[in-house]
Amino acid sequence: MAETTDKKLSGAGLRGQSAGETALSTVGKSGSGLTYRGYDVKDLAENASFEEVAFLILYGELPTQLELDNYRAKLKGLRGLPQALKEVLERIPANAHPMDVLRTGCSMLGNLETEHSFADQFDVTNRMLAVFPSIICYWYRFSHDGVRIETETDDEQIGAHFLHLLHGKAPSALHARVMDVSLILYAEHEFNASTFTARVCASTLSDMHSCVTGAIGSLRGPLHGGANEAAMELIQDMRDEQHARDVLAGMLERKEKIMGFGHAIYRESDPRNAIIKEWSEKLAKEYGDDRLYRVSVACEAFMWEQKKLFCNADFFHASAYHFMGIPTKLFTPIFVCSRVSGWTAHVMEQRSNNRIIRPSADYVGVELRSVTPISERG
Ligand SMILES: CC(=O)SCCNC(=O)CCNC(=O)[C@H](O)C(C)(C)COP(=O)(O)OP(=O)(O)OC[C@H]1O[C@@H](n2cnc3c(N)ncnc32)[C@H](O)[C@@H]1OP(=O)(O)O
Ligand SMILES: O=C([O-])CC(=O)C(=O)O
């Protein structure tokens, strides 16, 4: 079980300090590990689908079969893109980063389908959950292949729907399942940087699209969600296990950060890693070339041996996504398609018991002084 230790607390990065309460998840808590509303993430990844998990996170309990059927039908009906949003997406160049596309897409949606009142919060949330795969794939396929795709598919599940839009055909059962598990693993993670961004924004009583747009910006960085793409860039040229060790040794020697390793809360392991690693191994077998899986395993062993650093949720996602034919730059946007469930639930939780988030700072600048007339400066 992944647990925290008594890490030295310091003000930097607010590490180790509680910044509020949540009933949504526990992260690295002794005896419970990673749970969403009390359910172990492993249990959910084995026995539930992403739509059930999103429902759980947003509404508090796992759905009954009828509730799940209705929820899936509702989400399916919300996949279409407004014409004005399509036009905006068509103007974004192919060399844009898809996270920037998603940030713009979310913001534009907020102009077209504004959350006028908090009474609309579930509606705007479900719309975002349903439409984010459409936004990213519409832009990707238009800018890269010159085609205007139909974003409404018959797929029951968001993960399969994403792959369908991306590849123009329904995915295999294995790929659909891995996407589903991946979305479950990424759905919620307490007060991580992007969620905290969303909550800070929510605490000013801002609208849901602003909260989520800000969160997308925070997730984009390589120290957070962007690490899955950075991990892919790291492993893609590793020829074999020995080469992987040599590359990492050089990076450690140069004191470079190895993306996909380490965590702000977990100390010994990230419970999501073992799950996605197992799926990556299955995908490698099906793919027929397991080099990326093997070098990833070698990286994991080497980093633990050298630095006691472990793979976080992002590392084996890199090879898993690659084996499913997903372009590297779409890795972090998939994280968004999942984490939007957690972000919006946190916004709702913040709103339900709000006080504006406004910490203090320790001033380290110059002492009080008076303005010198401009003619006397220099
Ligand atoms: C889904 C997610 O967002 S998971 C996180 C994804 N991000 C990454 O994979 C980026 C790489 N990892 C990191 O940069 C860090 O581990 C973070 C940002 C995740 C956590 O940062 P922190 O809480 O500051 O890390 P922590 O306090 O455990 O660091 C301890 C030491 O290990 C080093 N360290 C931590 N992670 C790494 C790493 N991946 N590569 C090299 N060194 C590392 C730190 O530099 C630090 O060294 P120092 O004491 O000499 O300064
Ligand atoms: O909790 C964190 O700091 C980062 C993380 O793993 C996540 O957001 O999934």
pLDDT digits (tens, 9 = 90+) for 236-249: 999 999 999 999 99
pLDDT, tens only, 183-203: 999 999 999 999 999 999 999
What is the structure's pLDDT at 11?
65
Residues of the chain with pLDDT under 70: 1-11
- Distance of alpha carbon 323 from alpha carbon 286, whole angstroms: 9
- Distance of alpha carbon 153 from alpha carbon 61, whole angstroms: 27
Q: Which residues line ligand 1 (CB under 6 A)?
A: 15, 223-225, 227, 257-264, 309, 312-314
Residue 48 Ramachandran class (φ > 0 left, ψ -120 to 50 alpha, else beta) = beta
- Distance of alpha carbon 51 from alpha carbon 126, whole angstroms: 11
The CATH code belonging to domain 227-324 is 1.10.230.10
What is the structure's pLDDT at 30?
84
Q: What are the boundaries of each domain within the chain?
A: 25-221+329-352, 227-324
pLDDT, tens only, 299-313: 999 999 999 999 999
CA of 64 to the centre of ligand 2 (A): 29
What is the structure's pLDDT at 32?
81
* Residue 370 CA: distances (Å) to CA of 65, 67, 366, 367, 373: 69, 66, 12, 10, 10
Pocket test for ligand 1, best of 261, 276, 305 (most atoms within 8 A of CB): 261
The HSE-up count of residue 336 (CA atoms within 13 Å, CB side) is 34
**Of ligand 2's atoms, which has the minimum distance to the CA of residue 195?**
8
* Amino acid occupying residue 176: A
Enter the ipTM: 0.98
Give Cβ neighbours of residue 75 (< 8 Å, ≥ 6 apart).
51, 126, 129, 130, 158
Architecture of domain 25-221+329-352: Orthogonal Bundle (1.10)
For 6, other C-beta atoms within 10 Å of its C-beta total: 7
Pocket test for ligand 2, best of 14, 27, 185 (most atoms within 8 A of CB): 27
Q: Which of 175, 263, 317, 322 is catalytic?
A: 263
**Of ligand 2's atoms, which has the minimum distance to the CA of residue 270?**
6
Active site residue 263: yes
